[in-house]
Amino acid sequence: MTEVDALLQNIDYAAAVILFCIGLYVVVAKGNLIKKLLGLNIMETAVFAFIVTSGMVDGGHAPIVTEAATPPFASPLPHALVLTGIVVAVSITALALALIVEVYRRYGTIEADELRETD
Amino acid sequence: MKRALAAAAMVAVAVPMLVAVSALPRPGAPDGPVHTQVAARYLAAGAAETGAPNLVTGVLLGYRSFDTFGEVMIIFTALAAVMAALPATGADGAADRQPAGGGLPAIRVSPLVAFVVRFTSPFIAAFALWVILKGHLFPGGGFQGGAILGALGILLTIVLDRRRVWPLPAVARSRLLQAGGPLAFAVVALAGLWLTGYVLGYPADPALHAVRSLMMLLLEVGIGFGGGAIILALFLRLRGD
Amino acid sequence: MSQLFDLVMLGLLVAMAVAVARSRDLVAAAVIFSGYSLVLCLLWLHRGAPDVAMTEAAVGAGVTTVLVLVAIGRTTRREK
């Protein structure tokens, strides 16, 4: 099996990598702090997508084990990890936004280039 | 120039990652390491060991409750940090840049939107409560219900804000409610220490399963209502109230 | 069929992420990000993760967007 075939088979993972890199590009190339934060959020969701995808199983159901449910079940561990990760992500977002608002109040701009000139 | 450099860096990051993921087992393969290691044990014994058929809740509050505790502390700390970073407007010189009575001018809400929000909010609230209280049996749990409660609180605050008697912001500012998650964890950790000798331990004795369910329910309620209050408080503080 | 759904969703996600990156209007970027979260939530629901999907719908599509919009309201809307 060639590399390309292997990549196509893991297209869900590849999509997560592409999303991660788009987010990284926004964080690195854009100057606006809020835009950078949106890029960071895209990176975070890409990682979550990767982890959730790793937990799925062919024809799997949600991991709720009752008499009525039939296997296979998706792995519950990635779901639990991502669940806490999402809440941490919103904490990061809120704190970063608070800092951005405070930066704007003090310097009147949220562009990284202009902020560098003001000191 | 800067953009070309960023794009080149992006490609330099992307290529090794793409090569790496192409070597991973196919997503969904039942014999992948994700399914054969610890997850197999969780699926086989989790419902009996934690008393939660919804294994996501079982993992969060049972097997990995220390993780969850740290995570509850993170969102609590985030609120404290936001409050420290953003002074409340009106209390200091910041007020002259902002209109009085909050950081943003009042939004004119269409009566149709206000009606729909008012009409649906009891149902959303009931759903959030269901998600929190029945999180061990159905999809849901403290975090999910807390997020729904927080979003509902933001929605109602935006729509009904012009009434100064609106009690929700005052409720969300209650320190006791904001600390609901950490407090619930403290109570359950001490109860576990007393019952089993381990911090956050759950009694394994079948006779004490009701106690175990009660401890989990306390955690769910603390995380749910505490998380909801923290999300609403973050919104209010960012808005400049 | 399931494979097709996956591919459409993934394509939509990448397109929306690019739209967030390209948009000069921060409000537009925030709203597109909200839609992006919603698509992600559907994808996760399809993959047997209803708990995660529920949280992402409430937090990613709802709370994060509102917080960003509020911060835009207190700073500037246009990206230079």
3-state SS of chain C is CHHHHHHHHHHHHHHHHHHHHHCCEHHHHHHHHHHHHHHHHHHHHHCCCHHHHHHHHHHHHHHHHHHHHHHHHHCCCECC
Contact indicator for B140, B134 with CB cutoff of 8 Å = yes
Percent of all residues in chain C with a pLDDT value above 70, rounded to a whole number: 99
Least confident piece of the model among B103-117, B161-175, C49-63, C66-80:
B161-175
Those residues with Cβ within 8 angstroms of residue C58's Cβ, 6 or more apart along the chain or in another chain: B144, B147, B148, B150, B151
Residues of A in contact with C18 (CB under 8 A): 22
Which among B78, B97, B238 has the least Cβ separation from residue A91?
Answer: B78
**A84-108: average pLDDT:** 92
Is the previous residue joined to B30 through a cis bond, with omega within 30 degrees of 0? no
**Which tens digits make up the pLDDT trace of B181-240?**
899 999 998 988 888 888 888 887 777 888 888 888 899 999 999 999 999 999 988 887
Longest alpha-carbon distance in chain B? 70
**Which tens digits make up the pLDDT trace of B150-175?**
999 988 888 876 555 677 777 777 88
CA pair distance A22, A35, nearest whole angstrom: 12
**B24-31: average pLDDT:** 82
**Residue B164: what pLDDT?**
59
ipTM: 0.91
| pLDDT exceeds 60 at position C1 | no
Those residues with Cβ within 8 angstroms of residue B84's Cβ, 6 or more apart along the chain or in another chain: none
Q: Find the closest chain A residue to B44 by CA distance.
A: A65
The structure tokens listed for B132 are 């929190």
Closest CA to A91 of A37, A23, A47, A49: A37
**Residue C36: what pLDDT?**
95
CA pair distance A113, C37, nearest whole angstrom: 30
Give the gyration radius of chain C's Cα atoms: 14
**Residue B167: what pLDDT?**
76
**Residue B209: what pLDDT?**
82
Is the previous residue joined to A72 through a cis bond, with omega within 30 degrees of 0? yes
CA pair distance A38, B204, nearest whole angstrom: 45
Residues of A in contact with B7 (CB under 8 A): 25, 29
Q: Which residue has the higher pLDDT, A6 or A94?
A: A94
Are B19 and A71 within 8 A, CB to CB?
no
Least confident piece of the model among A75-79, A85-89, B102-106, B133-137:
B102-106
- Rounded to the nearest 5°, which phi and psi values hold at C76? -125, 160
Model pTM?
0.89
Least confident piece of the model among B43-52, B70-79, C29-38, C40-49:
B43-52
Mean pLDDT for chain B overall: 83
Contact indicator for B51, B216 with CB cutoff of 8 Å = yes
Longest alpha-carbon distance in chain C? 46
**Residue B94: what pLDDT?**
42
Instruction: With cut-offs at 50, 70 and 90, classify the pLDDT of residue B104.
Output: low
CA pair distance A79, C60, nearest whole angstrom: 16
What number of other Cβ atoms are within 10 A of residue B130's Cβ? Answer: 14
**Residue B95: what pLDDT?**
40
CA pair distance B98, B105, nearest whole angstrom: 8
| Helix, strand, coil tally for chain B in percent (to 5) | 75, 0, 25
H/E run at residue B145: helix B142-160
The structure tokens listed for B196 are 């089993």
**A84-104: average pLDDT:** 92
What's the gap in Å between the CA of A52 and the closest CA on chain B? 10
DSSP single-letter state for residue B232: H
**Which tens digits make up the pLDDT trace of A10-64?**
888 999 999 999 999 999 988 899 999 999 999 999 999 999 988 888 877 888 8
What's the gap in Å between the CA of B145 and the closest CA on chain C? 8
**C20-34: average pLDDT:** 93
**Residue B162: what pLDDT?**
59
Instruction: With cut-offs at 50, 70 and 90, classify the pLDDT of residue B73.
Output: very high
Instruction: With cut-offs at 50, 70 and 90, classify the pLDDT of residue C71.
Output: very high
CA pair distance B124, B117, nearest whole angstrom: 10
Are B78 and A95 within 8 A, CB to CB?
yes
Instruction: With cut-offs at 50, 70 and 90, classify the pLDDT of residue B58.
Output: confident
- Rounded to the nearest 5°, which phi and psi values hold at B32? -65, 155
Residues of B in contact with C80 (CB under 8 A): none
Q: Which residue has the higher pLDDT, A58 or B78?
A: B78
**B3-30: average pLDDT:** 87
The CA distances from residue B109 to B29, B114, C27, in Å, are 50, 7, 18
Collapsing DSSP to helix, strand or coil, A119 comes out as coil
Q: Which of B64, B157, B237, B238 to mutate to test the interface with C (most CBs of C within 10 A)?
A: B238
**Residue B101: what pLDDT?**
44
DSSP single-letter state for residue B51: S
Collapsing DSSP to helix, strand or coil, A60 comes out as coil
**Residue A1: what pLDDT?**
60
